[in-house]
Amino acid sequence: MGLAHPSIAPYGVFRSKDGKDILISIQSEREWKKLCADVLGQPDLPSDPRFASMVERVRHRKLTDTTVGASFAAMTRNELLKRLSDADIAFAEVNTMADLAVHPHLRRIEVDTPAGPVTYPAPAAMVVGEPRHYGAVPGIGERADTAKEKGQGQAQGKDISVTDQNVMTEKARPRPSAPMDRPQHPSRRQSSTAQLTKGLRATLFLPIGEPKPGDAAPFTVHWCLAQPVFPMSELGPDGHPTRGGFLPPVPLPRRMWAGGEIEFFDSLRVGDEVTRTSRIADVTMKSGSTGVLCFVTVDHLITTPRGTAIRERHDIVYRDVSTAPAAPAKPAAPPPAAQHRESHWPIPSCCFVIRR
């Protein structure tokens, strides 16, 4: 897919008339209409059935990208950036190394070398109130003994530094007893049973039958297996486990599902001993129109004695409670004509009530 998105179109890099690459991400119908009218100059494009919804644009991704790309190719970078900014469309420029070298946010420092002073990109980290001082670049062979001594000290678990007076100092450095990594749940195991397979088949309106050892269970059975169990005393007000154990202690009260991805490599079968191993893969703070957001990515690995069966990425978003009144919802657009339709009428046995 490259920079494209499997379920969003248009989403990717488009080139301007003067050869500059610009990345756009159109994630709503409002943005699509604004892009067509204010940037592409084609306000009637959203009424074309092939572009009338995200589903149709993804289905006709090649045509969508070609249409957007043709309009971009007719305008210069500066024209496009102004139109995108005025239309409030999310975009980013794809910089080359030459662009990065003159980027206004790139900080540079100057240091002395045996051949004279040179400038190069400054280290990214900045400590408030502690200005950094950069020494001269040593010549070939200069300070060789110091470097050798320092390497020997680090191998023995010590930090060695050289002061301005060239006096060596050292201090003990504790060595980690194990490699540092992001939080990980202890692996949990549970067997896939015939009864569980029958229940899931019934829930998914599949023929129930009499599953035998070795029969494949429905694809989503892994959501029912080897899940963590917590006592009621350890649940937060949102019904999820309190944070600070496996999940990071995010100070935002609302937790929501943000997305995910599942890869199936092998079926889970009746009688399989299933092992689930979970780890925190990423934590990212962002700021959106509704305030501060924290995205937490959890990777799950589902294995059986045969090897890896499923890999799943679970994206969680935490946000604050909004105190602003909700904007009135706009009438939903009529759904596109379906190629297949199946109706399920709710009955009391399909519903449940939780009383507190």
49 pLDDT higher than 50: yes
How confident is the model over 308-325, as a mean pLDDT?
Answer: 84
pLDDT of residue 178: 36
pLDDT of residue 355: 40
Domain coordinates in residue numbering, the chain:
11-99, 188-319
325 pLDDT higher than 70: no
pLDDT of residue 179: 36
**Tokens coding 313:** 């990425």
Cβ atoms within 10 A of the Cβ of 242, count? 14
Residues 6+ apart with CB under 8 A from 302: 222, 225, 226, 268, 274, 275, 276, 308, 309, 310, 311, 312
- Angle at the Cα of 288 (from 24 to 318), degrees rounded to 5? 120
Q: Which is nearest to 317 in space by CA: 260, 258, 259?
A: 258
If you classify domain 188-319 with CATH, what class do you get? alpha beta
Are 68 and 91 spatial neighbours (Cβ–Cβ below 8 Å)? no
Task: For the chain, give the mean pLDDT.
Answer: 79
pLDDT digits (tens, 9 = 90+) for 146-195: 555 545 544 444 443 333 333 333 333 333 333 334 555 557 777 888 88
302 pLDDT higher than 80: yes
**Tokens coding 27:** 């994630």
pLDDT of residue 156: 45
pLDDT digits (tens, 9 = 90+) for 124-137: 776 666 667 778 88
Comparing 237-241, 252-256, 273-277, the range with the smallest average pLDDT is 237-241
Residue listed under structure tokens 């409670």: 321
Confidence band, pLDDT 50/70/90 cuts, at residue 17? very high
11-99: what fold?
A: formyl-coa transferase, domain 3 (3.30.1540)
